[in-house]
Structure formats: C-alpha cells, structure tokens
Amino acid sequence: MSLTSQSARSESPHAFVDLATALRRFGSTAAPAATRGERFVELELRHAGRQRIALRYELLGDLAQPAVFVAGGISAHRHVAASIQFTEPGWWDAQVGAGRALDPRAHCVVAFDWLGSDGKLDVVIDPADQADAVAALLDVLGIARLHTFVGSSYGAMVGLQFAARHGARLQQLVAISGTHTSHPYSSAWRAVQRQAVALGALQCDEAHGLALARQLAILSYRTPEEFATRFGAAHVVNGHVRVGAEDYLDHASSKYVARTSPTAFVRLSESLDLQCVEPERIRVPVTVVAVAEDRLVPLEDAYSLVERLRGETRLHVLRSAYGHDAFLKEDGAVAAVLREALSDCAEVAA
C-alpha cells in the first residue's frame, strides 16, 4: 500500500446544430465514435426477485481497445462525455475525451444508466444489483474483462461490489469518494431527504418535495468553507429574510427536478444506504481516493477500507473545499490519479 497526500437497439445520433463547430471541438471525423443502445435482460435482484431490466448504455471508442467502465453518483448517467455523435455535455467531460485522463483513443469507455434511474423500476435496488447489471452489460457487449472500473461516489460503491462479485472480470478498480459501507451520519442525511420527497407527495407537490431533498443533498456534498467564500450575508426581501445561498440552491434544485423522477431519487438514495461489501473478498488492485473534507464519506472509512483490502492497494487523500463533489470539481488532482492508475496497470499488463 502506498499513501500520497494529495442484438442491440441502436439509437440515432443527435442532430448537429453546427457540424463545423463540433468538428473543431473533437478534432475530425476520425475521432472515436460514440454509440448508444438498449438491451433487456432478466436479473435476480437481491430484494425484489427476478426482474426484466433495461440496460441503456453508451460506448465511446473502439470495443477492440481495453474497456474502462465509468460510473458516477446517483445523478450520473450513460453520457459521460460529449462526442461528435452526441454533442451535448457529458457529466465528466473534464476526465473523458481526447488527450484527457480517460482517452477513448486508447480505451473504450463504457457507461450505462443506473437501474431505477428512469423511475420505472419502483423496487428496492441494492448496489450489488447494479454490479450484476454491469456484468450483464459486459456479456451483451462481448467484453470478457474490464481493464479498469472507475467509480465515483455511488459508482465507487458499485465498483467495490463488482470487484467482490465479479473480480475475475476486472483488472483494477479506482474508487473515488465511496467505500464498502455507508456511514450512519450520511444515511441519516438521506433519510431526511426522502422524507422531504414523501411530504411533497402528501401535499400533491412532488416537485417541491424533490427540490427540497436536492437542496439538502447539496448541503451534504459541499462544505462550510466553500459557502463562506461564495455567499454573503442575509438580506431582507419583501418582508422576509433571504440568505446568500438560496438563489444558488433554488437554481440547482430546479435543474435537478427537471430531469429526475422522484421515484428514481428515492430508490437510488435508498440504494446508497444498503451498501455492504466485505473488503476481504476483493483481490484485484484498488486505488482508493478520499477527500479529507468529505462529510458523506469520512476519511476514517477510507482508511478502514484500505486496511481490509487484500489486493495491491493505494490510497490518495485529496484536500478540497468542494468536499464530496471534489471528483467533479478538482479536475487536475483527479486526472493525475487516473493517469497514474492507468499507466501502472498498463505496465503490469506488459
């Protein structure tokens, strides 16, 4: 251990508004192609029995290249990065793309929509179910073994599940801001969020309930230090006090509500609290990335994970005022970790 401080149904591509702009951004028509598809499989879910599941995936790059599965938090989805075929911004453009840490010219980047993310699967979903769904997708795509599983937040939890349950199909795991268990404090945060959604439903205003839940979630993702530098003092508006962060919270939550089903939020929030992996079962190399200021995944939990893992293990501890959201904001530090992990794995394979 080292410690450092720091038959598919294809979907048609989105139409271009400006093809010339897209070509300038992505280099040329020879840039790695992106494809999307959907397959239905039957999975035995741990708490809900056998279910027919839709696996909606996106590939960036050539399947002949070593495959890297990328997974983020419960709000993440299959569209990791923009491409010529799908030009809209991805949720991790900072790390995925030509010349970036996860370069689709060297690796085939694979991602999918979480089970339950469309709100149609209204059952208890375990992180282990998500790991089994990843394995099912690999079967569909004809990928025998992943070069790397890169998971952040919920994705790191699922990555640990995959390493424990399907370790023979994985060369290495990078787990960022996610561990083998959910801390009781974090679970308490999420329980209150789910109560906000339930209260909104009782008042026939699910959107408002989900917005409040999202605002509570944002407060748990970020830190007091960040808010102190971003927002000023409270002021009076129309006879009521409005604090400095309210506009930001309102804006962020309205964007989230516009794209998220309350059912999906609740089921994936619950899934976070079900995380339970025995680290001793994991034998593949694991790079663990923790953030000292992360209030949802305490540093002590990362230390516990590292101590119990049985394969080659590295721990990187980052410092960030963005707390749990550092994997989305600290581009340089995260890229350095990813490049190191991929480089070392390539050397071992050679």
| CATH 3.40.50.1820, applies to 2-182+277-349 | yes
Could you report the per-residue pLDDT of 225-239, keeping only the tens digit for each?
999 999 999 999 999
Mean pLDDT estimate for the chain: 92
Any idea where the domains of the chain sit in the sequence?
2-182+277-349, 184-271
Question: CA–CA separation, 144 vs 131, rounded Å?
Answer: 15
What confidence tier does 32 reach under pLDDT thresholds 50, 70, 90? confident
pLDDT at 20 over 90: no
Number of Cβ within 10 Å of residue 307's Cβ equals 11
| pLDDT given for residue 344 in this prediction | 79
CATH topology of domain 184-271: Rna Polymerase Sigma Factor; Chain: A (1.10.1740)
Report the sign of the C-alpha dihedral through residues 94, 97, 100, 101, in that order.
Answer: positive
Average pLDDT of the segment spanning 171-196: 98
Could you report the per-residue pLDDT of 64-96, keeping only the tens digit for each?
999 999 999 999 999 999 999 999 999 999 999
Beta 34-45 vs 9-10: how paired, if at all? Answer: antiparallel
Question: CA–CA separation, 278 vs 180, rounded Å?
Answer: 7
Q: Which positions are catalytic?
A: 153, 294, 324
Helices 246-259 and 206-221: crossing angle, nearest 10°? 120
Question: CA–CA separation, 214 vs 192, rounded Å?
Answer: 11
Could you report the per-residue pLDDT of 256-291, keeping only the tens digit for each?
999 999 999 999 999 999 999 999 999 999 999 999
DSSP 68: E
| pLDDT given for residue 29 in this prediction | 46
Average pLDDT of the segment spanning 177-195: 98
| pLDDT given for residue 154 in this prediction | 98
Question: CA–CA separation, 306 vs 268, rounded Å?
Answer: 25
pLDDT at 246 over 90: yes
Residue 84 or 3, more confident: 84
Tokens encoding 94: 């900072």
**Is the pTM higher than 0.85?**
yes
Tokens encoding 344: 């070392």
| pLDDT given for residue 26 in this prediction | 54
Torsions phi, psi of 85, nearest 5? Answer: -70, -40
